[in-house]
Amino acid sequence: MKMKKFLTLLFTIGSVGLLILASCKKEGTLVTTKGGTPSKLTSSTTTVVLDRDMLTDTTHIINFSFTAPQYDFAAASTTSIQIDSVGDNWKNPISVSFSGNTNSLSYNTADFNTALLKIIPGGIASNVNVRVQNSLSSTTNIYSNVISLTVTPFKLAATIYTAGAYEGWSVPSDNMVALVSPTANDIYSGLINFTPGNLEFKVLPDKNDYNGNYGAGTDPGTISQGSGNPPNIVAPGAFYYQVTVDLSKKTIAFVNTWSIIGDATPGGWGSDTDMSYDAATKTWFITALLKSDGTNAVKFRYLHDWGINLGGSGGTLSQNGANITIPATGAAGATYKITLDPVADTYTLVKQ
SS3 240: strand
Question: What pLDDT score does 11 carry?
Answer: 41
Examine domains 36-152 and 158-256 and report if their fold is the same. Answer: yes
Class of 158-256 in CATH: mainly beta
Question: What pLDDT score does 10 carry?
Answer: 40
SS3 3: helix
Cα dihedral across residues 68, 72, 76, 77: positive or negative? negative
What are the sequence ranges of the domains in the chain? 36-152, 158-256, 258-351
**pTM higher than 0.85:** no
What number of CA atoms fall less than 13 Å from residue 32's CA on the CB side? 4
Question: What pLDDT score does 134 carry?
Answer: 86
Name, in order, each residue with C-beta under 8 angstroms of 208's C-beta and a sequence gap of 6 or more: 171, 172
CATH number of this structure's domain 258-351: 2.60.40.3620
Question: What pLDDT score does 228 carry?
Answer: 73
Q: Which parts of the chain register pLDDT below 50?
A: 1-33
Question: What pLDDT score does 229 carry?
Answer: 84
Class of 36-152 in CATH: mainly beta
Question: What pLDDT score does 115 carry?
Answer: 92
